Amino acid sequence: MKAYQIKIELTGSEPLIWRRIVMPAGATFNRLHDVIQNATNFQGGYPGAYHLFEFDLPNDNIRVTNDEEAYQEHQHFKKNRKEIEAKLRDVPPEFAEIQEARLRELEKVVRKPAGIKIDTYLEKYGTLEYIYDYGDDWHFLITLEKTMKDYHYGYPTLIDGAETAPPEDVGGLPGYYEFLDIYYDSNHSDHEDMKEWVQEQLFREYDPDFINDSLKSIHYKKTEWDKINKQG
């Protein structure tokens, strides 16, 4: 069975928070999202959707996202393109640059993550950028390290990694480092409150065995498995 060995890095983290995972080829972007979520402390993977996320494919002018509003806006633009273009360009010169930027944004194709597979883009780009939670603004870099032809599992496997990942809604990297200072300082005035809060967020220190148990939930349906095996 064809599979990809990928490295997932939390951009800007110091020390670097990273995971190395083998996952079956033929996966959708939604499954890749699930892999990242289950390999970290985030809670937006299968079966729920905690926050918005996106993958940017700039060379193909594609944005892959679970943002339903953005998807519907793009569908509306496609159906009414000439009218919208004329309206956006019929502005005073001082607003022309802003409207052209808006038009470029609307022209970007918006795809739902469950309806597009990673194979072509991961192999073509070599790296993919993933953004999760527009409030905390987590940025990840996914790098294709190796393509394998003899993977025997229908689910992803963690094979290496380092450092504990942030919990949900901690306030981005600055908030995470502040959280760590309080969480590991038993003398801090907010220590007990922080411990209680983080339990609600299902925070867990880096635990490869727990991650692999979680990743087993991201399995392929039999029809997907059969199709991938036929492809090699």
Dist. CA 169–CA 126, nearest whole Å: 30
Let me know: does 164 contact 41? Beta carbons within 8 Å.
yes
Check whether 219 has a pLDDT greater than 80.
no
What is residue 52's DSSP assignment?
-
Dist. CA 122–CA 115, nearest whole Å: 15
Let me know: does 22 contact 211? Beta carbons within 8 Å.
no
What are the Cα distances from residue 198, in Å, to 27, 71, 222? 32, 33, 37
Comparing 158 with 153, the larger pLDDT belongs to: 158
pLDDT for 109 equals 96
pLDDT tens string 1-14: 899 999 999 999 99
- Domain boundaries along the sequence of the chain: 3-66+112-165+207-223, 68-108
Check whether 20 has a pLDDT greater than 80.
yes
| SS3 of residue 77 by DSSP | helix
pLDDT tens string 92-122: 888 888 888 888 888 999 999 999 999 999 9
Identify the residue whose tokens are 């801090």: 188
Domain 3-66+112-165+207-223 has CATH 3.10.290.30: yes
Comparing 228 with 142, the larger pLDDT belongs to: 142
What is residue 164's DSSP assignment?
P
